[in-house]
Amino acid sequence: MNSRIPPTPLPSLSIQSAQSLRARIRRRHVAERRFRFYGFAAMFLTLAVLVLVFVSILSKAYTAFQENVLSLTISLDSASIDSTKGSTTGQRNPLTAEYRKLIQTALAGLFPAVTDRHERHLLFSLISEGAPYALRALVTRQQAKIGGDRTVDVLLSDEADQFLKGHITAHVYETERKIKDLQVTWLKELQARGLIHSRFNITLFTAGDSREPELAGILGAVTGSFYLVIVTLSLSFPVGVASAVYLEEFAPRNRITDLIEVNINNLAAVPSVVFGLLGLAIFLNGLRLPRSAPLVGGFVLSLLILPTIIIAARAALKAVPLSIREAALGIGASKMQSILHHVLPLAMPGIMTGTILGLAHALGESAPLLMIGMVAFVVDTPVTLLDPATVLPVQIYLWADSPERAFLERTAAAIVVLLGFLIAMNTIAVMVRIKFERRW
Partner 1 sequence: MHVLTLLAVLFCISLLGFRISQGRALLLSRTTGLHSLPYHHGQFASLASLLPGLAVILLWSLLEAPLALWLALDHLPVPPNLADGEVRLLTAEISNMAAGYGGRQDTALLAAAWHYRELRETSFTVAATVAVSVSLGGLVFAWRRVTPSYKARNSVERVLKIFMILCSALAVLTTAGIILSLLFESFRFFVHVPFTAFLFGLEWSPQKALHAEQIGAVFGAVPLFTGTLLIASIAMLVATPLGLLTAIYTAEYAAPHIRTVAKPLLEILAGIPTVVYGFFAALMVAPALRDTGAMFGISISSESALAAGVVMGIMIIPFVSSLADDIMSAVPQSLREGSLGLGATQSETIRRVVLPAALPGIIGGILLAASRAIGETMIVVMAAGLSAHLTANPFAAVTTVTVQIVTLLVGDQEFDSPKTLAAFALGLVLFVVTLALNVIALKVVRKYREQYE
Interface with partner 1 in residues 284-303 (CB under 8 A): 285, 303
Residues numbered 367-396 forming contacts with partner 1, rule: CB under 8 A: 367, 370-371, 375, 393-394, 396
Taking CB under 8 A as the rule, does residue 36 contact partner 1? yes
Min separation Cβ 323 and partner 1, Å = 23
Closer residue to partner 1, CB minimum distance, 142 or 337 = 337
Residue 122 Cβ vs partner 1, minimum distance, rounded to whole Å = 29
Using the rule CB under 8 A, which residue among 136, 343, 411, 432 binds partner 1? Answer: 411
23 binds partner 1 (CB under 8 A): no
Question: Should residue 18 be labelled a site residue for partner 1 when binding is judged by CB under 8 A?
Answer: no
| Binds partner 1 by CB under 8 A, chosen from 264, 313, 317, 432 | 264
Task: Please say which residue, 52 or 202, places its beta carbon nearer to partner 1.
Answer: 52
Q: Taking the CA atoms of the chain, what radius of gyration do you get in angstroms? A: 33
Question: Does residue 225 touch partner 1 according to CB under 8 A?
Answer: no
Contacts of 374 (CB under 8 A, 6+ apart): 224, 292, 297, 389, 390, 391, 394
Nearer to partner 1, 37 or 133 (CB): 37
Burial of 195 (0-12, 13-18, 19+ CB in 10 A): middle
> Which one among 13, 50, 431, 434 touches partner 1, defined by CB under 8 A?
50
- Between 128 and 243, name the residue whose CB sits nearer to partner 1: 243
Residue pair 272/371 in contact (Cβ under 8 Å)? The answer is no
Which of 72, 278, 359, 417 forms a contact with partner 1 (CB under 8 A)?
A: 278
Strand partners, 149: 75
Stretch of 48-56, 71-79, 92-100, 318-326 contacting partner 1, by CB under 8 A: 48-56
* Window 300-319: residues binding partner 1 (CB under 8 A): 303, 306-307, 310
Q: Does 38 bind partner 1 (CB under 8 A)?
A: yes
271 binds partner 1 (CB under 8 A): yes
* Residue range at the interface with partner 1 (CB under 8 A); choices 145-153, 168-176, 183-191, 277-285: 277-285
Please report, as residue ranges, which positions from 56 to 85 form the binding site for partner 1 (by CB under 8 A): 56-57
Instruction: Pick the piece of the chain touching partner 1 (CB under 8 A) from 94-102, 182-190, 209-217, 242-250.
Output: 242-250
Near partner 1 in 312-371, by CB under 8 A = 334, 336, 360-361, 363-367, 370-371
Of the residues 280, 293, 296, 359, which one makes contact with partner 1 according to CB under 8 A: 280
Q: Indicate whether 418 belongs to the interface with partner 1 (CB under 8 A).
A: yes
Q: What is the 3-state secondary structure (H, E, C) of the chain?
A: CCCCCCCCCHHHCCHHHHHHHHHHHHHHHHHHHHHHHHHHHHHHHHHHHHHHHHHHHHHHHHHHHEEEEEEEEEECCHHHHCCCCCCCCCCCCCCCCCHHHHHHHHHHHHCCCCCCHHHHHHHHCCECCCHHHHHHHHHHHCHHHCCCEEEEEEEECHHHHHHHCCCCCCCCCHHHCCCCHHHHHHHHHHHHCCCEEEEECCHHHHCCCCCCHHHCCCHHHHHHHHHHHHHHHHHHHHHHHHHHHHHHHHCCCCHHHHHHHHHHHHHCCCCHHHHHHHHHHHHHHHCCCCCCCHHHHHHHHHHHHHHHHHHHHHHHHHHCCHHHHHHHHHCCCCHHHHHHHHHHHHHHHHHHHHHHHHHHHHHHCCHHHHHCCCCCCCCCCCCCCCCCCCCHHHHHHHHHHCCCHHHHHHHHHHHHHHHHHHHHHHHHHHHHHHHHCCCC
Cβ proximity to partner 1, 35 vs 133, nearer residue? 35
The nearer residue to partner 1, 62 or 250, going by C-beta atoms, is 250
Stretch that binds partner 1, among 167-175, 182-190, 215-223, 409-417 (CB under 8 A): 409-417
Under a CB-based contact definition with an 8 Å cutoff, are residues 368 and 275 in contact? yes
Work out how close the CB of 199 gets to partner 1 at its nearest, in angstroms, rounded to a whole number.
27
Stretch that binds partner 1, among 14-22, 140-148, 199-207, 247-255 (CB under 8 A): 247-255
Return the residues of window 157-196 that contact partner 1 according to CB under 8 A.
none
Quick check: 226 binds partner 1 (CB under 8 A)?
Answer: no
Span 194-223, contacts to partner 1 by CB under 8 A: none
